[in-house]
Amino acid sequence: MKEFILILVSSVLVNNYVLSQTLGICPFLGVSKKLNQAVGMGMAVTFVMVIATAVTWPIQNFILSSFDLGYLQTIVFILVIAALVQLVELFLKKAVPALHKALGVYLPLITTNCAVLAVCINALKDNNVPDMGSATFLYALLYAFGSGIGFLLAMVMFAGVRERIAASKPPKAFEGTPITLISAAIVSFAFLGFEGLFSKL
């Protein structure tokens, strides 16, 4: 049980993909203008991260490792994730049209999101959490889920920050993108505070 909590805390807060590892910045800055869009994107990313890990974990452990082809990880994973997202989109269009409409353009956008690829690769490592032992399938899934939730958290938080920025009046030179990047940096600094969390546990 302790491991489960540790994995979640680690992936959501300490190693937050956007704010601590600076991956997946494109959707983080691109789709965080409005809260409902940010939530939609965050949910879609979480969803894709979990199913992508569920597929890439066995591919790595049963196919690539047994042929001694670990170095092909990146290219194979990109291939698989892209196909998978397409498949999910087709399935949703048929089975849950409402959800398909809600996710809209976000699903295909995620296809080439580096955060998804990074989660798939990192979920294979056994050092996600100190003293945890080897990464089993269940732990990998949990890690992917936590990372997705971390992404969602970052998106929602930053959407709130951006709504405040839109209402305020920064100096002329900082208007638009500059003030957005500066705020992103400050939010990222705030997440540095979680860094020392594990030494206390």
- How far apart CA 61 and CA 76 sit, in angstroms, is 13
Tokens for 44?
């879609």
Contact in structure between 20 and 84 (CB atoms under 8 Å): no
> In the complex with another protein, which residue's Cβ is closer, 79 or 201?
79
Contact in structure between 42 and 152 (CB atoms under 8 Å): yes
The least CB distance from residue 101 to another protein, in Å, is 12
The least CB distance from residue 134 to another protein, in Å, is 24
The least CB distance from residue 90 to another protein, in Å, is 4
- How far apart CA 128 and CA 135 sit, in angstroms, is 8
The least CB distance from residue 196 to another protein, in Å, is 42
Sign of torsion over alpha carbons 4, 156, 43, 47: negative
> Which residues of this chain interact with another protein, rule CB under 8 A?
59, 63-64, 67-69, 72, 75-76, 79-80, 83, 86-87, 90-91, 93-95, 97
> In the complex with another protein, which residue's Cβ is closer, 12 or 117?
117
- How far apart CA 197 and CA 199 sit, in angstroms, is 6
> In the complex with another protein, which residue's Cβ is closer, 67 or 196?
67
> In the complex with another protein, which residue's Cβ is closer, 86 or 136?
86
> In the complex with another protein, which residue's Cβ is closer, 75 or 98?
75
The least CB distance from residue 79 to another protein, in Å, is 6
Mark out the alpha helices in the chain (DSSP H runs): 2-9, 25-30, 35-58, 73-95, 97-103, 106-110, 114-122, 137-167, 177-192, 197-200
